[in-house]
Amino acid sequence: MTTLRDIVKYLKDIAPQEFTFQGRESRVEVGPQTERDQAKTTISRVTIATYASAKIVATASQSKANLLVTHRPLFPFAVDRLTGLDLIRARLLAKNYISAYVIGSAWIGVEGGLSDSLVESLDLSTVRGFMTDGDYDQMVPIGRECEPPSEMNHSRLVNYVAEKLSIDTVLFAGNLDDDVGRILVSPGFYIDMPEILRAKQQDIGTIITGELSPEIRLLANEENLNTVELGGFVSEEPGMKRLGHQFRMEMPELKIGFVESAPLAKALRPYSEDMK
């Protein structure tokens, strides 16, 4: 019999708290909060996803899951009351006795986590970890510094990335004719000003990530860094799929389901007059 406490302990072992940065803690968002209560909560079926959208919460309910594990939290910040979609999702989870656990930023940099999974999906070679300030007075990995797969410019790199990940939309900022040098691969939405400046200091010329804010994209461009954005969820999916595989090996008694958080947006260029 596997309990929620067993699973929480396992997840904290593979993504230790000391690897946390930007305040994105791993935690039980919905369900028993004390170890005593978690030990009384039996888990037999787990749904894993990058983000707990309304559809994914409904899927977890329909599959009779006891636990939903995601990387992006239901509630990024503390709230004193629930409204709208947040209330609907929380009610559906509670009504069906589904606990929700978010595996936070620690899962980005640990060995075998989101960064390594994305690097492997892109078939790149890691040189070393790329570090940032952690929440517990130490430097922690936020990504991997990698070599390009071969000599290429950024036009070819963008096509290479899209082909490897089977995506049809990549957001690029920079100079497509620039040769590709050292690459920072960092899944998710975590790259901020300190990482841009540190990448510049370390002679990194290209960043592959999930999403950048407009301000950080502009800063990177002003610092002559080329950026490749894969879109929401795409960069995190390989690592969450790997988490499902690890669950199956470590806890074979559990039924594990993975639900994709598919990107919906496509970048379209309006027709010019000569194309009509």
Higher-confidence position of 263 and 235: 235
Question: What b/e string do you get for 136-153 counting C-beta neighbours within 10 Å, with b at 16 or more?
Answer: eeeebbbbbbbebbeeee
Contact 114/107 with Cβ under 8 angstroms?
yes
Pick the closest to residue 66 from 35, 34, 30, 36 (CA basis): 30
Residue 276, pLDDT above cutoff 60: no
Contact 133/139 with Cβ under 8 angstroms?
yes
Task: Please report the pLDDT score of residue 272 as a whole number.
Answer: 60
Task: Please report the pLDDT score of residue 75 as a whole number.
Answer: 84
User: Each residue of 153-196: pLDDT tens digit?
Assistant: 999 999 999 999 999 899 999 999 999 999 999 999 999 999 99
Higher-confidence position of 184 and 273: 184
CA distance 162 to 39: 44
Task: Please report the pLDDT score of residue 271 as a whole number.
Answer: 67
Residue 275, pLDDT above cutoff 60: no
Task: Please report the pLDDT score of residue 11 as a whole number.
Answer: 97
Q: Do 107-229 and 2-106+236-258 have the same topology in CATH?
A: yes
Mean pLDDT confidence for 91-119: 95
Residue 116, pLDDT above cutoff 90: yes
User: Each residue of 7-57: pLDDT tens digit?
Assistant: 999 999 999 999 999 999 999 999 999 999 999 999 999 999 999 999 999
User: Each residue of 128-147: pLDDT tens digit?
Assistant: 999 999 999 799 999 999 99
Task: Please report the pLDDT score of residue 84 as a whole number.
Answer: 82
Contact 27/102 with Cβ under 8 angstroms?
yes
Contact 188/134 with Cβ under 8 angstroms?
no
Q: Is the pTM of this model over 0.85?
A: yes
Place of tokens 């492997």: 120
Place of tokens 């470590």: 250
Domain ranges of the chain: 2-106+236-258, 107-229
Q: In CATH, which of 2.40.128.30, 3.40.1390.30, 3.60.20.10, 1.20.120.1200 is domain 107-229?
A: 3.40.1390.30
CATH architecture of residue range(s) 2-106+236-258: 3-Layer(aba) Sandwich (3.40)
Task: Please report the pLDDT score of residue 208 as a whole number.
Answer: 99
In angstroms, the first-to-last Cα distance of the chain is 64
Return the ∠ at Cα 227 (arms to 15 and 169), rounded to 5°.
90
User: Each residue of 49-104: pLDDT tens digit?
Assistant: 999 999 999 999 999 999 999 999 988 776 777 778 888 888 899 899 999 999 99
